[in-house]
Amino acid sequence: MARLTRARASYVLMSPRKARLVLDLVRGRYVDDAVAILKAVPNRAARVVEKLVNSAAANAEANLHISRDSLKVKGAFADQGPSLKRFQARAMGRAYRILKRTSHITVIVEEAEPRPSVKRLAHTVTKAEARGRRKRGEEEAQSGQKRGRARKQVEQAAPQVEEPAAPAEEQPVAEAPAVETPQTEDSAPAESAQAEAEATDAGATGEEPAGEGEPKSEDKGDS
C-alpha cells in the first residue's frame, strides 16, 4: 500500500472555483514538475498551492523518510468555507450584498516510482524529433517530385515557338588617335645656333636686331 501525506490550508480568502483552476494543473504530476508549473502561473492561487505542495513533500521526507524525487501529487481539491457577508450602499437607501468566499485547500502526495532521469527524457525527445524530421523530409521530397512531374507535363504540352535570331549590331570603327611628336633635346642646340647666326649678320650690317633698342622718334613740324 502506498504511503500518503497531506497538507491543508483552511479559511483561505479565495473562491474555491479559482483555486480549482490551479489545482487541475498539478494533479497527477511529480512534486518537482508541479512546483515548476506553479512558478510560471500568474494566478494568486498558485502561490498558495505551491506552498502546500512543498509542505506535503517536506512532511513525507521528515515523517516517512521518502525521497522527494519519488513523490507524486495524488489528490488536490478545494472545499468551500464560510462566506463573509458585506454590503455596498446604493441609491435610495438600498444595499447590495457582497459575499467574500473562503475555501479549504488540500494537497495529498504519495510515494511512486522514482522519477526518470533527465538524460533519458532528453534521449527520448531527441528520437521523437528525429522521427518527425525524417517524416517531414520524406513528405517534402514526395511533394517536390510531384511538382517536378507536373511541370514537365506542362512543358511538353505547351507548343514550342522558335524565337527569331537577333541581327548582329554593327560596331563603329574607332579612329586612330593623333600622335604628337615629343620635343627632343637635339632641337634646342639647333635653335640657339640659328639665333647666334642672325645676331652676327645684324652686327655686320650695323642694324640692331628686331625688338632691341629704343625706337627712333621723328620730329614733325607744325602743320
Cell numbers linked to 106: 488540500
When mean pLDDT is compared across 40-49, 74-83, 93-102, 170-179, the lowest value belongs to: 170-179
Position 223 scores a pLDDT of 43
Position 91 scores a pLDDT of 96
DSSP 9-76: EEEESS-HHHHHHHHHHHTTSBHHHHHHHHHH--SHHHHHHHHHHHHHHHHIIIII---GGGEEEEEE
The pair phi, psi for residue 95, each rounded to 5°, is -140, 135
pTM exceeds 0.95 for this model: no
| Residue that is written with C-alpha cell 519519488 in the block | 70
pLDDT in tens, 57-103: 999 999 999 999 899 999 999 999 999 999 999 999 999 999 999 99
Q: Where are the domains of the chain?
A: 4-89+96-114
Dist CA 80 CA 119 (whole Å): 43
Average of per-residue pLDDT across 154-168: 67
Question: What type of residue sits at position 42?
Answer: P
Look at 87 and 137; give whichever has higher pLDDT.
87
Look at 180 and 131; give whichever has higher pLDDT.
131
Beta strands in 59-201 (DSSP E): 71-80, 84-89, 95-100, 103-111
Domain 4-89+96-114, second-level architecture:
Alpha-Beta Complex (3.90)
Dist CA 158 CA 168 (whole Å): 30
Position 202 scores a pLDDT of 59
* Percentage with pLDDT > 70 across the chain: 66
| Residue that is written with C-alpha cell 504511503 in the block | 3
Name the residue among 24, 29, 21 with its Cα closest to residue 73: 29
Position 12 scores a pLDDT of 96
Residue 2 has pLDDT above 90, yes or no: no
Most confident by average pLDDT, 108-112, 147-151, 197-201? 108-112
